Structure 1
Amino acid sequence: MTQAITFADRYQTVLVPVIFEPWAKELVRRADPQAGDDILDLACGTGVVTRELAKRLPGSRNLAAADHSAEMLGVARSLAKEAGLDVEWVEADAATLPFADNRFNLAICQQALQFFPNKLAALRELRRVLKPGGRAVFCVQRELDVNPMLKAQAATLEAYVGAEAATAVEAICSLPDGTEIQMLFEKAGFRDIEVTSVTLDLQHPDAAVFAAGAMGGMHTGDKLSGLADGDIDRAVEAFLDGLGDCLDGRSLRFPHVSNVIVATA
């Protein structure tokens, strides 16, 4: 019997290599972790930041990762086991972390703050588990107007599936204001807060393959699954048409713009 492909599997195979792995590299580069640091990957998903940290700090036994999704953690654990990594994987809400006060030197959080139901509570909880002087490094998606791939995706889903499907993409860009983000970190007690708009140039060799996978690998699930095959094909074509200059023949190349936040506990 063939095992069904889960959302977490699709997320890992479609979105991680194109979007989340490049951002993981960028965040780890900016965080500059050191040997001996106790590090938390907050809202770790399938563990791409943790795996990048392990490459930077081979043999480290001080890596912990937390996510609210058991399905995502299942993929993360499996990939870590294959790679022989020693990681503490924890299923937990960001606002109620099961860690002691002042445990971590560094926390990294990729594209998740915008989804936290209580952002301020989550940031205060993170500050609690960071040591005094510990660092937090986040990235948070900016608005649709500066992210043409997501803008084309939202427009396609609204046209072919409905407004609710488009809202799922818009939620990715629901915390675009750097000033608002800075105020959240300030209210949570962080200091030396820097918010910088950063653009990564991302690509995929086959735009049609990415289109079908991306709209079926979002955090809210497969938005095209209810459509007939012909409508799925037409939706993918509409997405490709909406990419404009980001489409180069068969390949896709697009700017992906986020605010990167570096702050001290």
Structure 2
Amino acid sequence: MIPRKQSFADRYQSVLVPVIFEPWARELIGRAHPEPGEHVLDLGCGTGVVTRELARQQPAVGSLTAVDHSAGMLEVARGVALDHGLEANWVEADAAALPFEADRFDLALCQQALQFFPDRPAALRDLRRVLRPGGRVVACVQRGLDENPMLKAQAAALDACAGPAAGDAVRAICGLPDADALEALFLDAGFTEVAVLPVTLTLHHPDARAFAAGAMGGMHTGDKLSALAEDTARRAIDLFLQRLGDCFDGTAMTFPHASNVVTARA
């Protein structure tokens, strides 16, 4: 049975966050080395996993501010934060028009969001504006579809069962794969000490079928399954599992998740 009543943000939080975004949150924070007293911005926060992980690892930060354009994502983020007793400033805003004064933050983290910003140059210019001089940014951006078999399987399944527009939503996740283009965006926005490093995490889910239902119903770009007839949605999941190939053992899935990690200074 395909879950129908949860929002895509709920499914994103319950299925995708533990498998994909918690490991990447730890990866980014490990590279950022947040210090006590620092004011931290989580840009494109989704349901808040980076903010929660940072609060766990460094409870002495000066402040935590998380921004997303999606009211639905922020609603889930606030609820999960409340459950964890976490205090943070959750802000609904466009990444290209951040509602903060200049030089506000010491550190910014951005997990798998830059590729979705409608105006990437403007967003990075505004990010630089709100970082203090010398402030740090650490971001990760998905590499190409051919390096990410889980996403490639999703795109193929959705193309076949929901149409190319649904498959394009997955391809958009890999919409900024080129390291040189990524570096140029940061340099053009005025950042210095820009470095782009390819990083691949090996991720796992014990129930690939459950993951498939949640993943295609809780993507960055929204729910792609609930509008389908039940048998078509089941077929999409079956096709996804078939396309996983060696990443699927009949029950569980283990797959590489390849991104570029950017570090830079304002």
TM range (shorter): over 0.9
State TM-score, norm by structure 2.
0.96
Q: Hey, what does 2:254 align to over in structure 1?
A: 253
Q: Hey, what does 2:69 align to over in structure 1?
A: 68
**Greater mean alpha carbon deviation, residues 74-83 or residues 162-171:** 74-83
Match runs of 1:125-144 below 5 Å: 125-144=126-145
Q: Hey, what does 2:233 align to over in structure 1?
A: 232
Displacement of 1:229 in angstroms is 1.9
> What CA distance in whole angstroms lies between the structure 1 residues aligned with 2:237 and 2:244?
11
Displacement of 1:221 in angstroms is 2.1
Q: Hey, what does 2:21 align to over in structure 1?
A: 20
- 3-state SS of paired residue (1:259): strand
Match runs of 1:85-234 below 5 Å: 85-234=86-235
Instruction: Map Cα deviations across residues 90-130 of structure 1 (whole Å, 9 max, x no partner).
Output: 11110010111111110000001001011000000000000
Large movers: runs of 4+ above 3 Å: none
Displacement of 1:59 in angstroms is 4.9
Which residue identity does 1:131 align to in structure 2? Answer: R
> What CA distance in whole angstroms lies between the structure 2 residues aligned with 1:135 and 1:60?
15
Q: Hey, what does 2:41 align to over in structure 1?
A: 40
Which residue identity does 1:90 align to in structure 2? Answer: V
State TM-score, norm by structure 1.
0.97
Displacement of 1:220 in angstroms is 2.4
> What CA distance in whole angstroms lies between the structure 1 residues aligned with 2:72 and 2:190?
32
> What CA distance in whole angstroms lies between the structure 1 residues aligned with 2:128 and 2:156?
38
Count of paired positions: 263
Which residue identity does 1:149 align to in structure 2? Answer: M
> What CA distance in whole angstroms lies between the structure 1 residues aligned with 2:80 and 2:214?
20
- 3-state SS of paired residue (2:125): helix
Displacement of 1:61 in angstroms is 4.6
Q: Hey, what does 1:263 align to over in structure 2?
A: 264
Which residue identity does 1:201 align to in structure 2? Answer: T
Task: Name stretches of at least 5 consecutive residues in structure 1 with no aligned partner.
Answer: none
> What CA distance in whole angstroms lies between the structure 2 residues aligned with 1:202 and 1:91?
30
Q: Tell me the C-alpha RMSD between the 2 structures.
A: 1.2
CA contact (8 A) 2:38 2:107 kept: yes
CA contact (8 A) 1:100 1:129 kept: yes
Identity %: 63
Which residue identity does 1:229 align to in structure 2? Answer: E
